[in-house]
Amino acid sequence: MFDRRLIANIDWVLLLLVISAAGLGIMNLYSSTSTWNMTGTPIYIKQLYWLGLSLMIALIVALFDYRHLEYVGVFGYIGCVALLAGVLLFGKTSMGATRWINLGLFNLQPSEIMKLLIIIALATYLSRHETPDGYSLKELIAPGLLLGIPVVLIIKQPDLGTAMLLLFIGVTMALFAGIRRSALVVLGLAASGAMVGGWFLLHGYQKDRIRTFLDPERDPLGTGYHIIQSKIAVGSGGFWGKGFMQGTQSQLSFLPERHTDFAFSVFAEEWGLFGSFMLLGLYLLIVLWGIHIARKAGSSFGMYLAIGITAMIFWHIIVNLGMVIGLLPVVGVPLPLFSYGGTSMVTTMIGIGLLLNISMRRFMF
């Protein structure tokens, strides 16, 4: 039965922060695509539809008791691993990557679903195997396998960006749970070795992205074009920006992918350093509020679940912003709630729905 007390406990602060960020994203999409000659529905209207649908999904997710996920999440995880394996066998290939399964009405991208399911799986394991002294290297084998299997399958697609995000989320959750210093030293050395050896396993275009990251000027009209134009857009905004719909890099179409991966570059050019800090402050509040929800969670499982979702949002923000200002290689990671994309919006809002769920039930134990 639905408990009416949940309505009184709705986390309006989180909802307001999320809707504000998404609203700024839609306004930014309107500006970045205003010069497009489109015959169909404008991009910003499509994003508005996705936001409305995602909000409804988030509220539905918030109504079901999240504690049930502790018992059924493992089946979802196993099913998604099977889908990731299926992608490699009979998936749809586009632009050199095989990441989708054609289901007729739509294309399913299992790696997006795995972002949420790995959080549920790790939250289940960590809440059931808590240790006051922190995890030893041996005790990290099981959660390491939970994380490693989908990461390897996603790298094979290849989708380095999503695989990297899964690693960041898993490591954040493990660090929050506690890892012994000796284990951290060994893992740090292993990670350093893997980074060096991993270079020889990368695809050619992935190596080009890293070379471009280190020296964008080596191919200014090819692989370096995106990041060069992005940095020009961000830098030319100055402190106050050029004004709404006045950004030359976006309005004159110098900046590619300005509605998806480089949406922040458009915003920074138009609203400058002042506007960028305002947006970053909004994201900071969302992340801090997610940590607050984790601290106030009524169960250990809810705490780890909230940390995982907050980590997912946080690392999306860090990787995207690092990418558009040249601090990280371009890996095709969208800015949550801001970049155009239905899949990204739905995935993020399901996570927000779970945070609402955990926050609403903090008094019901």
DSSP labels, 133-184? T-B-TGGGHHHHHHHHHHHHHHHTTT-HHHHHHHHHHHHHHHHHH-B-HHHH
- One domain for residues 126 and 78: yes
pLDDT tens, residue order, the chain (365 aa): 455 666 667 899 999 999 999 999 999 999 988 877 777 788 999 999 999 999 999 999 998 899 999 999 899 999 999 999 999 888 777 666 778 887 776 678 899 999 999 999 999 999 999 888 899 999 999 999 999 999 999 988 888 889 999 999 999 999 999 999 999 999 988 888 877 777 776 767 667 777 777 777 777 767 778 788 888 888 888 899 998 988 888 777 778 888 888 999 999 999 999 999 999 999 999 999 999 999 999 899 999 999 999 999 999 999 999 999 888 888 888 999 999 988 899 999 999 999 999 998 876 55
pLDDT in tens, 165-205: 999 999 999 999 999 999 999 998 888 887 777 777 676 76
In-domain check, residue 12: no
Lookup: tokens for 172: 């954040």
In-domain check, residue 136: yes
pLDDT above 70 as % of the chain: 93
In-domain check, residue 16: no
pLDDT in tens, 85-104: 999 888 777 666 778 887 77
Residue with tokens 């196993």: 78
- One domain for residues 255 and 346: yes
> Are the beta carbons of 293 and 352 closer than 8 angstroms?
no
Counting the structural domains of the chain, the total is: 2
Domain boundary pick from 142, 175, 201: 201
Domain boundary pick from 152, 170, 201: 201
**What is the rounded CA–CA span in Å between residue 46 and residue 24?**
15
- Prediction pTM value: 0.92
**What is the rounded CA–CA span in Å between residue 275 and residue 265?**
12
**What is the rounded CA–CA span in Å between residue 261 and residue 3?**
41
Domain boundary pick from 201, 220, 253: 201
Domain with 190 in it: 71-201
Q: What burial class does residue 264 get, using C-beta atoms within 10 Å of its C-beta: 0-12 exposed, 13-18 middle, 19+ buried?
A: buried
